[in-house]
Every structure is written in C-alpha cells, then in structure tokens.
Amino acid sequence: MNGGKIVVGVSGGVDSSVTALLLRDAGADVIGVFMQNWADDDSGDCRAEDDRRDAVAVCGKLGLPIRFRDFSREYWDGVFQHFLSEYAVGRTPNPDVLCNREIKFKHFLDAAHELGAGSIATGHYARVDCVDGRYRLLRAKDRSKDQSYFLHQLGQRQLAATRFPLGELYKDEVRKIATEHGLATAEKKDSTGICFIGERDFREFLSRYLPAKTGEIRAPDGDRIGEHPGVFYFTLGQREGLNIGGVRGRPQAPWFVVGKDIERNILYVDQGHDSSWLQSTTLRSEPAHWIAGQPHAKRFTCTAQTRYRQPEEACEVEVQDDGCLQVAFSRPQRAVTPGQSLVLYDGDVCLGGAIILSTDAPLAGQANARNNAA
C-alpha cells in the first residue's frame, strides 16, 4: 500500500475541492473519488448528478484522476433504515453522524485501500493530532464551521488514516483559495439539511416511508389545541408546521413542541421558546463511543453539546457499568432530544459521544418509558 497516495472524497462542493487542491500542492499523490450514497428516486430533487459534474470539473482543472463509487445500498442498509426506525418510535436521529461512521470512514476508507492509498481526506472542518501514540479529534480553527460533532464516532483506525486539510482554515479563506485557482465550485452554495432529502419538503418525503396518522395536539394541561398529521414528523422545540391559529383563552404567542406520546399518538405543545416543559438538567444515553478507545475515568467533568452548533455546556458525566452515560448539566438545557447525539469535549479535544435515550424534562418520563419499550 502506498502511504503517499491519498484518496479525497470529492463531493462537488467547495470544501472538498480545496481539500484536493491543498493536498496536490503539498506534493501528495491524490486520487479523487465521488461517492453516490443515495439512489435517484425520480423526484427531481436529487442533486447528485450536478454534484458529480462539478466534481469531475474540479478534478479536471486540478489534473487529478477521479473514480466513482456507488454506496447507495450500504447507505440504505446502514443509515437510512436506522433513520426510519428511530422516527417510527418517536426519536429524532442524526443521519450525518451515522453516515460518517458507516459510509465515509468505513466503506469509503476500504475503497481507498483497494485503490492502493494509505489514507483518505475529506472537506470536514476538524483537526487530528497524535499524542503519546493516541490519535485525537480536535475542533476546527473556524469554530463557526467546526464539524467534530458529526465525527465523534470515529476511532483510532479511522483517525490514523484521515487528513482534514481545512481544519486550520476559515471558510472565507477556503472560498478565496477556490476563487484564486478558478475552481468551478468557488461560489457554490453549501448543501444544508439531510443529504438524501435535499431541498424537498421533509414531511412529504417521510410520509413515503412512514404513513401519516392524524392525532390530537394537546397543551401540557391536557386541553385539546388542534390536530397533527403524524406525531413522528415533529421534534422537540419545533415551531414550524404546527398550524395552530388563535386558541380561545390562550395568549397570542407562538407554540412549540414540548413532548410526544407515540403510543397514544398525542403531540404536546406549549407557548414560549423557553417553556419550562422543554427544560431538562439530566439525560441518559446509549453506550458511549470513546475516540481513545475507553473513557479516562468513570466519573468526570467536561463540556457537551446535545445538538450541532449549540454552545457547549458544562456537565458531569458518570459512565455506567453497561457503558451508558448519566449526565448532569450545570444549568437547564432546552429541547434535549432523544435520538440526537450527545458529544463530549475537553477543551478542543472531542472525547466521543453517544445517542441520547431519555431526559428528566417534565413530559419525558411517561413518553420515554413507552418509546424505549417500542
């Protein structure tokens, strides 16, 4: 295997384009690989062909060979089926975390080895270093773009074989480099949202796989507020899509989702962005993944994020005998959501993380018991 050969995941975006450019200019033997992770569903909303053309154009401009790999079956089996099963029991999954673990740093890494490469590189905003023989995942220099949250499931094998050239750069620097080198992706808009849904309506997409079942919307006191099209279409803290007009006896203020009872098909809402019904101070997680291979202690303090781009919060972590985490925050947290990822940090160092199972939010106990049993 050629340790000097690097396979770059070229997605057709500016970040992966500049990643390939920087490695080429550093003297690496670079091969671009375009991954197709979602089969075209004839909806007209898939951007894969446009992205493929842009990836080819960039590699052509840089004088780099490009290969193509179809991981759509692996994505369906390893990511999308989990996505559906989580929504079906009322949790809100984060497919980007699973995609990184199962596709980009597993099947893609294997494909790179098959091409004779010793390492891979992606356009993620993160950094890797090695201290005393252990690889560490670090936050990016550009904290506003830091993507270590989505990479917390990586381990020693993956980090040892991965390069993140953008980790030391700010986004505006990346676009400037792309412009200076005449790359077609220099001004291309960043992709947002869930990759396989694209720009289409989320509820319409999900209804193809999880048929709608209407039910009641209630306030925490039990009053009927309205009707929902399907309880699993909503997540904690959500405001959009509730279609609640004026309610007699209630103030004219926005409503937010504060709880879900899947078994009874009830969606609970309350008024106020910081409703007390959305607040929690503790959570329990599934067994955690540790980037170092194991936790450094059974009980420790650190900071954590329970969603992407959330400010990190101080907490105390206790590792249970089964590997699950019991976490207590120093102050109440808003809309901590089962199915999302808890990611732990020590300064800039990402320690690892786990899927959130339950919280002590006021409406969580009853629903968590039912949903976890499902």
CB atoms within 10 A of CB 103: 21
Q: What is the mean pLDDT of residues 274-287?
A: 97
Rounded mean pLDDT, 239-257: 90
Distance CA 356, CA 341 (A): 6
165 and 264 both lie in a single domain: no
Is the same domain home to 249 and 339?
no
Total length of the chain: 374
Residue 200 clears pLDDT 90, i.e. is over it? no
Last residue of a domain, which of 226, 249, 273? 273
pLDDT band at 199 (very low <50, low <70, confident <90, very high): low
DSSP category for residue 66: E
Check whether residue 35 and residue 173 sit in a common domain. Answer: yes
Paired tokens of 9: 């995941």
Domain assignment present for residue 205? The answer is no
Q: What burial class does residue 211 get, using C-beta atoms within 10 Å of its C-beta: 0-12 exposed, 13-18 middle, 19+ buried?
A: exposed
Is 195 annotated as catalytic?
yes
> What is the pLDDT averaged over residues 52-76?
96
Task: Point out the least confidently predicted range of 184-198, 202-216, 232-246.
Answer: 184-198
Which residues neighbour 45 within 8 Å (Cβ) at sequence distance 6 or greater?
197, 198, 199, 200
Confirm whether 92 is domain-assigned. yes
- Residues 24, 151, single domain; the answer is yes
Does 251 reside within a domain? yes
- Asked whether residue 201 is assigned to any structural domain, the reply reads no
Domain co-membership, 223 together with 263 = yes
In a domain? residue 21: yes
3-state percent helix, strand, coil for the chain, nearest multiple of 5: 30, 30, 40
Does 199 fall in a domain? no
Last residue of a domain, one of 232, 247, 273: 273
Report the CATH number at residue 298: 2.40.30.10
Report yes or no on 187 lying in a domain: no
pLDDT value of residue 368? 45
What does the pLDDT average to over 124-136?
Answer: 97
Q: Which residue has the higher pLDDT, 366 or 264?
A: 264
DSSP 167: G
CA angle 192, 197, 201 (to 5 degrees): 95
- 234 and 352 share one domain: no
Q: Could you tell me if 266 and 297 lie in one domain?
A: no
Name which of 122-136, 204-218, 275-289 the model is least confident about.
204-218
Q: Global pTM?
A: 0.92
* Mean pLDDT, residues 288-293: 98
User: 258 and 284 share a domain?
Assistant: no
DSSP 193-204: S-TTTTTS-HHH
**Annotated catalytic residue, options 195, 302, 315, 350:** 195
Q: Is the pLDDT of residue 31 over 90?
A: yes
Q: Which domain holds residue 53?
A: 2-180
Which one of 231, 247, 273 terminates a domain? 273
CA distance 117 to 140: 25
Segment 104-128 shows an average pLDDT of 96
158 & 119 share domain: yes
Same domain, 294 and 244: no
What is the per-residue pLDDT for 40? 61
- The CATH number given to whatever domain includes residue 51 is 3.40.50.620
Domain membership of residue 193 (yes or no) is no
Burial of 293 from C-beta contacts in 10 A (0-12 / 13-18 / 19+) = exposed
Same domain membership, residue 172 and residue 23: yes
Q: How many distinct structural domains can be found in the chain? A: 3
Handedness of CA 57, 59, 65, 68 (dihedral sign): negative
Q: What is the mean pLDDT of residues 286-315?
A: 97
Question: Which one from 46, 99, 302, 350 is the annotated catalytic residue?
Answer: 99
State the CB neighbour count (10 A cutoff) for residue 240: 10
CATH number at residue 219: 2.30.30.280
Say if residue 59 is in the same domain as residue 174.
Answer: yes
